[in-house]
Every structure is written in structure tokens, then in C-alpha cells.
Structure 1
Amino acid sequence: MKRRAFVFGLIVIAVVFALDQWTKQLAIDGLSNPFRVIEVTPFMNFVLAWNPGVSFGLFQGQAPWVMIAATAAITIGFCIWMWRTRDRLLRLALALVVGGAIGNLVDRLRHGAVTDFIDLHVAGYHWPVFNIADSSITIGAALLLIDSLFGGKKSVR
């Protein structure tokens, strides 16, 4: 049972990674030559942006190997946690975070920065441009928080 549950987590990781990489490539191909902005709705645009930092542009200017090593270590730790847990919500949350982290890690290795393209804006305020991996990490982190607050006592055996 544990193996099948872990395989579910691996499938979620693979789907998030594939969707993230596919949409990033679409953004690169469709928004870079010539550079353009596509208005999707009155509050959302597609625009190509490169983020050399972490979430929301934090830690820009840090040595890239530091971010790559940290991402790899966290990913390995979360995969071990995902293997050990019996809780479905926790497994899904971890898989979402890992899938997004791997997607952004591959961008750092390929391009030296993360490809972002979703631009949300309301009343002149622009949220930092993001991508599918960032969304997956955010949803996974929110589920981890929900699980920690309302999940009750659980065993990791």
C-alpha cells in the first residue's frame, strides 16, 4: 500500500513538472520574438520574465549554486517525507511542492533563471510575475499549513 501511495505522489510530481515545462516553453516561444504582452483578461496578462532569484524575486544576486543546492536538498527531504507519510493530503501537498521545485530547478540549470509568464494585476497593482511551478508550490504549502493546523496527530511509520 505504501508503494502505491508513493507512486501516486510521483505521478503528481511528474504531471506538475510536465505542465510547468510545457507552459514555460509556450511562453518562451510565444512571447519572446518579438517581445510582447498578451492580455488574457482585464486582470491577467501573459508576459515573459526571467527571475534569477527565488519566489517573488527574493534572493536575487545569490550564487546560483546555493539556490540549486538548497532546492535539491529540500526536494530530497520532501520525497523522503512523502515516502514515510500515510496521509493523503500531506502526500499531495509534498508532491505539489516537489513538482514545482523541480520545474524551477530545471529552469535554473537550463537558463540560469526561472521562466515566469503569468502577470496578475488589480487597480494598478501587479503581483510578481509567476508560473505553474510557483502556483503548485504555493498550493502545496497552503495544504501543508492546513494539514499542520487541522490534520490532527499522525504517525509517520
Structure 2
Amino acid sequence: MRKARWFWPLALALLVADCASKRVVESHLAVGEPHPLMGNVVRFTLSYNTNAAMGIQLGGNERRLVLSLLTIAALGVLAYLYRRTHASERLRVIGVALVSGGALGNLLDRLRSSAGVVDFIDVGVRNVRFWTFNVADMGITIGALLLLLALGRWGGVAQQGG
């Protein structure tokens, strides 16, 4: 089985879903106005994030450039990891694909507009809300978890002898 059979369709599907969902949300929602999907637990609330992942703040006017360069560097690391991954390591291939597609989606947002990355998925209960995120963020998170699982599964992490 070729690893490209999993990688490219997943990475591109995530990228397309992310970009399309952001454009739909931007064209139909006003910034900061919540639209409930599942009561008040899940709702769509358009916001623009100029910070890093999960709202982590970086100072300075160069924030957009720094975050874009960091993302490009991360994509380089992911390309290296992809090349070093054997086709039989399906979990690792899928993880790299999801993180890559998500990173590209958020990078395109940063390059497209100085307003920031479009976030809109708003989850929480009453006044306790998770940070607002997007489809790319879901891919990055799920992909990173799969990579962690793959590292342990294929000996990428030192095993304790017993």
C-alpha cells in the first residue's frame, strides 16, 4: 500500500473543508454573534484569531509574520516526517496528513487577511466556554494525538523494559 493513497486525499479534504467552512461562516455570520446548533453547548460564533493556537498570545506587530514562518517551518518538519514514514505506518501517515492539512488551512488564513485566522466552533456549558476553533484546528489536534499514539506503537518512544 502506498502512503500517498492516504496522505493526499486526507490532507486535501481537510484543507478544502476548512477553507469552505470558513468562507460560508464569514458570509453568513456577524462577528461575535452566537448561533446555537445544539442548544447552548455547541454554537457557531465568528471570531478572528490573531494569536497562536488556542489563543496563545505573542507580542509585537510582527506576530503575523512570526506565526506564518513558524507554520512554514512546521510544515517542513512534517514533510520530513512524511518522507521518513513507511507506508505500513498508517496511523502516522494519517496523523501527518491531518496536521499538514490543518496547518495549511490556518496559514492560508493568515496570508489572506491581517484580521487573523477565522474561528467559529464555540463549545461550552453556560458561561464556561472552550476557546473558539475551526476545522483546521480539529485536524491538527486529532492528527497530533494520532502521531503520539503512533510514536508509542512503533517504538518512536523509548519502551520501558520489565
Q: Could you state the TM-score of these two structures normalised by the residue count of structure 2?
A: 0.86
Cα separation, 2, equivalents of 1:60 and 1:153: 31
Alpha-carbon contact 1:104-1:114 (below 8 Å) kept: yes
Aligned to 1:152: 155
Cα separation, 2, equivalents of 1:90 and 1:105: 22
Cα separation, 2, equivalents of 1:85 and 1:27: 36
CA-based RMSD: 1.9
Aligned to 2:120: 117
Aligned to 1:71: 71
Higher helix share: 1
**Taking structure 1 as reference, are residues 153 and 47 closer, same or farther at Cα in structure 2, changes over 3 Å only?**
closer
Aligned to 1:6: 4
> Which AA in structure 2 matches 1:39?
P
Aligned to 1:40: 37
1:88-103 paired onto structure 2 within 5 Å: 88-103=90-105
Q: Secondary structure at the match of 1:118?
A: strand
> Which AA in structure 2 matches 1:149?
G
Identity among equivalent pairs (%): 32
Q: CA deviation at 1:150?
A: 2.8
> Which AA in structure 2 matches 1:95?
A
Q: Secondary structure at the match of 1:61?
A: coil
The count of corresponding residues between Structure 1 and Structure 2 is 151
> Which AA in structure 2 matches 1:74?
A
Unaligned segments of structure 2, at least 5 residues: 158-162
Unaligned segments of structure 1, at least 5 residues: none
**Taking structure 1 as reference, are residues 115 and 153 closer, same or farther at Cα in structure 2, changes over 3 Å only?**
closer
Cα separation, 2, equivalents of 1:111 and 1:145: 32
Q: CA deviation at 1:77?
A: 1.6
Q: Secondary structure at the match of 1:9?
A: helix
**Taking structure 1 as reference, are residues 153 and 80 closer, same or farther at Cα in structure 2, changes over 3 Å only?**
closer
> Which AA in structure 1 matches 2:73?
A
Question: Does structure 1 residue 59 correspond to structure 2 residue 50?
Answer: no
Cα separation, 2, equivalents of 1:79 and 1:13: 12
Q: CA deviation at 1:59?
A: 2.6
Cα separation, 2, equivalents of 1:118 and 1:153: 33
